[in-house]
């Protein structure tokens, strides 16, 4: 009986010894809000953004019953942030479909969408840089298949929030003790010029005012977005560009105007400020995009905005801040007027 009681005491002691420090660390590290802190086992306290962001009212998807612009995009479009800015400021209405839902539909899906929403005049194919080649090549392959008509309405992802957050949430607990202890271990390490924590690179920057987190002389970047592009060949890029041209030509039969929008990866936008030279490869993709009228090139504007807008990308995330999305919306609007994506110049 005494040994059983001792066992219970030891078990209780070990449990408390394991959980109490985790509770303390949870309060100190602050609740997770960024994908790079989560993937890299890094503290929001050290790498979370601090600059207050503007509010943006988020409209549902579609933004009206008569959308004029169809967006086929990834996580940079799912939240309806830049679309909501254009809806609010310029009265533009959008319907947004995820790539994953688009790829699982019949070949004549776009024609079906056009019948369901006859107001659609333009299609904007949006992809973040690291996924662009695959998205464009897969879409061209899909459109080459035999047309299997369908009247199904699209599967639409609705925005999770009705307005964007102006400040990062600091109240709450992290319930994963493994994450907390791995983060604690990473905190004990001395930061070098390049640190790899799981799927996140922690990279030394040549300026400390690009982000507003505590350790702002370092930036967080997604490892795969950097390393995957090192394997790109000129033939891969040419194939993706030619696929985009095919898509544009193929959809002319539906009397639709087409543009392709590639969002620079965070590492490409901040490349000039990463101290470790040649870590981020020089992609031939951007030179090709600039020469193709069907594309909206953003790389030059993004590199400029990185210098002008602290937290243009969120410090703890692969995505733009709310202010960053507002800048993106303005670039799209101005460039789409030049490229024929918009028929009404209502800019104020």
Q: 219, 274 in Cβ contact below 8 A?
A: yes
Q: Given a cut of 80, is residue 12 above it in pLDDT?
A: no
Q: Given a cut of 90, is residue 263 above it in pLDDT?
A: yes
Q: What is the pTM of this model?
A: 0.89
Residues 6+ away with beta carbon under 8 Å from 118: none
Q: Given a cut of 90, is residue 181 above it in pLDDT?
A: no
Q: 306, 273 in Cβ contact below 8 A?
A: yes
CA 50 – CA 34 distance, rounded (Å): 13
Average pLDDT score over residue span 45-68:
96
Tell me what pLDDT residue 340 has: 44
- Specify the residue for token string 């006859």: 118
Q: State pLDDT tens for residues 145-155.
A: 776 665 666 67
Tell me what pLDDT residue 304 has: 97
- Cα distances from 81 to residues 55, 158, 320, in angstroms, run 10, 12, 10
Report residue 344's pLDDT band, with 50, 70 and 90 as the boundaries: very low
Q: Is 184 exposed, middle or buried (0-12, 13-18, 19+ CB in 10 A)?
A: middle
Query: Which DSSP helix (H) or strand (E) runs through 125?
Result: strand 122-128
Of the chain, the percentage scoring pLDDT greater than 90 comes to 58
CA angle, 292 then 296 then 299, to 5°: 100
Tell me what pLDDT residue 7 has: 55
Q: Given a cut of 80, is residue 232 above it in pLDDT?
A: yes
Tell me what pLDDT residue 155 has: 74
Q: What is the dihedral of CA 80, 87, 303, 335, to 10 degrees?
A: 130
Q: Given a cut of 90, is residue 64 above it in pLDDT?
A: yes
Please give the residue that has the higher pLDDT: either 16 or 160: 160
260: which 2 tokens? 């392709």
Q: Is 240 exposed, middle or buried (0-12, 13-18, 19+ CB in 10 A)?
A: buried
Most distant CA atoms of the chain, gap in Å? 85
Total residue length of the chain: 348
Q: State pLDDT tens for residues 100-119.
A: 887 766 667 787 788 889 99
CA 81 – CA 86 distance, rounded (Å): 9
Q: Closest Cα to residue 77, out of 90, 91, 92, 58?
A: 58
Tell me what pLDDT residue 106 has: 60
Q: State pLDDT tens for residues 264-309.
A: 999 999 999 999 988 998 888 999 999 998 999 999 999 999 999 9
Tell me what pLDDT residue 182 has: 87
Query: Which DSSP helix (H) or strand (E) runs through 124?
Result: strand 122-128
Query: Which DSSP helix (H) or strand (E) runs through 104?
Result: none
Of the chain, the percentage scoring pLDDT greater than 70 comes to 84
172: which 2 tokens? 């709450």
Tell me what pLDDT residue 204 has: 96
Tell me what pLDDT residue 62 has: 95
Tell me what pLDDT residue 25 has: 64
Q: Given a cut of 80, is residue 329 above it in pLDDT?
A: yes
CA 308 – CA 56 distance, rounded (Å): 21
Q: Given a cut of 70, is residue 97 above it in pLDDT?
A: yes
CA 244 – CA 258 distance, rounded (Å): 10
Report residue 95's pLDDT band, with 50, 70 and 90 as the boundaries: very high
């Amino acid at each position: 009986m005494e040994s059983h009681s001792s066992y219970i005491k030891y078990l209780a002691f070990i449990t408390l010894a394991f959980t109490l420090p985790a509770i303390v660390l949870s309060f100190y590290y602050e609740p997770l809000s960024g994908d790079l802190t989560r993937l890299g086992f890094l503290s929001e306290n050290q790498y979370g953004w601090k600059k207050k962001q503007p509010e943006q009212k988020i409209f549902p998807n579609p933004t009206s019953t008569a959308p004029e612009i169809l967006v086929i995009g990834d996580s940079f479009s799912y939240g309806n942030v830049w679309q909501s800015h254009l809806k609010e400021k310029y009265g533009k209405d959008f319907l947004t479909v995820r790539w994953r839902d688009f790829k699982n539909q019949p070949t004549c899906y776009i024609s079906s969408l056009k019948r369901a929403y006859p107001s659609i005049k333009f299609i904007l194919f949006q992809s973040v840089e690291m996924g662009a080649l695959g998205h464009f090549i897969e879409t061209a392959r899909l459109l080459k298949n035999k047309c299997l008509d369908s009247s199904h309405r699209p599967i639409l992802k609705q925005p999770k929030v009705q307005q964007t957050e102006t400040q990062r949430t600091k109240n709450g607990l992290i319930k994963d003790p493994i994450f907390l202890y791995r983060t604690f271990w990473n905190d004990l390490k001395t930061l070098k010029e390049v640190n790899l924590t799981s799927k996140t690179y922690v990279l030394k920057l040549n300026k400390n005012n690009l982000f507003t987190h505590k350790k702002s002389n370092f930036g967080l970047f997604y490892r795969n977005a950097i390393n995957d592009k090192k394997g790109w060949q000129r033939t891969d890029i040419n194939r993706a560009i030619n696929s985009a041209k095919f898509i544009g030509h193929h959809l002319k039969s539906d009397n639709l105007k087409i543009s392709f929008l590639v969002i620079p990866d965070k590492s490409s936008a901040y490349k000039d400020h990463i101290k470790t030279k040649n870590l981020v490869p020089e992609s031939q993709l951007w030179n090709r995009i600039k020469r193709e009228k069907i594309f909206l090139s953003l790389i030059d504007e993004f590199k400029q905005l990185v210098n002008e807008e602290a937290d243009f990308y969120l410090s703890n995330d692969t995505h733009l801040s709310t202010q960053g999305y507002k800048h993106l919306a303005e670039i799209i609007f101005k460039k789409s007027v030049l490229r024929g994506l918009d028929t009404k110049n209502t800019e104020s």
